[in-house]
Structure 1
Amino acid sequence: MTEPSTSFDSPWKDIVETYLPEFFAFFFPDAYTAIDWERGFDFLDQELRQVVRDAELGKRFVDKLVKVYLKDGEETWILIHLEIQSQYESQFAERIYVYHYRIFDKYRRRVASFIVLGDENSNWRPSEFGYEIFGCQVNFSFPVVKLLDLGQDWEALVNNRNPFATVVMAHLKAHQTRNNRQERLEWKLSLTRRLYQQGYQRQDVINLFRFIDWLMSLPKNLEQEFWREIRQWEEETRMPYITSVERLGIEQGMQRGEATLVLRLLNRRLGQVTTSVEKQVRQLSVEQLEDLGEALLDFENEADLLHWLSQNHD
Structure 2
Amino acid sequence: MLTNIVLERPNDYRVIDHDGLWKKIIHELFEEFILFFIPELAEELDFSKQPEFLEQELFKEIIQEKKGKQIADQIVKVYSKAGEEKWLIIHIEIEGSPRENFSKRMFRYFYHIYDKFNVDVVAMAVLTGHSNVLTKGEYHYALHGTSLTYQYNLFEISDYSEDELLKSDNPFAMAILAAKYVHETKDDVEKRYQFKIKLMKILSQKRKYPHEYNRMYISVLIYFIDYLLQIPLELTKKLREQLIEIKEGKEMVYINRDSMPISWGEFERIVKAEGREEGKAEGKLEGKLEGKLEGKLEGKKEGREEGKKEAKRTVAKKLLEDGVSYEVVAKYTELSVEELKKLMDGIN
Could you tell me how far apart the structure 1 residues matched to 2:216 and 2:260 are?
11
- Give the share of equivalent positions with the same residue, in percent: 26
The offset of 1:117, in angstroms, is: 1.1
Match of 1:75, SS? coil
**TM-aligned CA distance change 1:124 to 1:17, over 3 Å:** farther
- Partner in structure 1 of residue 99 of structure 2: 89
- Partner in structure 2 of residue 174 of structure 1: 182
CA contact (8 A) 1:63 1:79 kept: no
Match of 1:39, SS? coil
The offset of 1:126, in angstroms, is: 3.7
CA contact (8 A) 2:56 2:73 kept: no
CA contact (8 A) 2:51 2:78 kept: yes
Query: In terms of Rg, which structure is larger?
Result: 2
Which of residues 200, 210, 213 is equivalent to 2:223? 210
Match of 1:9, SS? helix
CA contact (8 A) 2:205 2:252 kept: no
CA contact (8 A) 1:161 1:198 kept: no
Q: Does 1:59 align with 2:69?
A: yes
Matches within 5 A, 1:38-53: 38-53=48-63
Structure with higher RCO (Cα < 8 A, 6+ apart): 1
The offset of 1:58, in angstroms, is: 4.0
Matches within 5 A, 1:52-201: 52-53=62-63, 55=65, 57-72=67-82, 73=84, 75-84=86-95, 86-121=96-131, 126-151=136-161, 154-199=162-207, 200=209, 201=214
**TM-aligned CA distance change 1:5 to 1:193, over 3 Å:** same
Letter matched to residue 111 of structure 1? V
Letter matched to residue 202 of structure 2? R
CA contact (8 A) 1:44 1:66 kept: yes
Q: Does 1:232 align with 2:248?
A: no
Match of 2:93, SS? strand
The offset of 1:249, in angstroms, is: 8.9
Q: Does 1:250 align with 2:261?
A: no
- Partner in structure 2 of residue 293 of structure 1: none
TM-score between both structures, scaled by the size of structure 2? 0.64
**TM-aligned CA distance change 1:57 to 1:128, over 3 Å:** farther
Could you tell me how far apart the structure 2 residues matched to 1:254 and 1:121 are?
35
**TM-aligned CA distance change 1:182 to 1:51, over 3 Å:** same
Could you tell me how far apart the structure 1 residues matched to 2:266 and 2:243 are?
19
Could you tell me how far apart the structure 2 residues matched to 1:242 and 1:15 are?
21
**TM-aligned CA distance change 1:103 to 1:156, over 3 Å:** same
**TM-aligned CA distance change 1:126 to 1:165, over 3 Å:** same
CA contact (8 A) 1:128 1:141 kept: yes
How many positions carry a matched residue from both structures?
A: 253
Could you tell me how far apart the structure 1 residues matched to 2:64 and 2:176 are?
32
CA contact (8 A) 1:21 1:37 kept: yes
Could you tell me how far apart the structure 1 residues matched to 2:20 and 2:73 are?
11
Gaps in structure 1 of 5+ consecutive residues: 256-282, 284-314
**RMSD of aligned alpha carbons:** 2.9
The offset of 1:19, in angstroms, is: 0.6
Letter matched to residue 145 of structure 2? G
Match of 1:37, SS? coil
Deviations 1:34-77 (A, max 9, x none): 22223332223425542324546542434433332333546122
- Partner in structure 2 of residue 295 of structure 1: none
TM-score between both structures, scaled by the size of structure 1? 0.71
The farther-off stretch of 6-15 and 214-223 is 6-15
Could you tell me how far apart the structure 2 residues matched to 1:7 and 1:56 are?
17
Letter matched to residue 182 of structure 1? E
Q: More helix per residue: 1 or 2?
A: 1
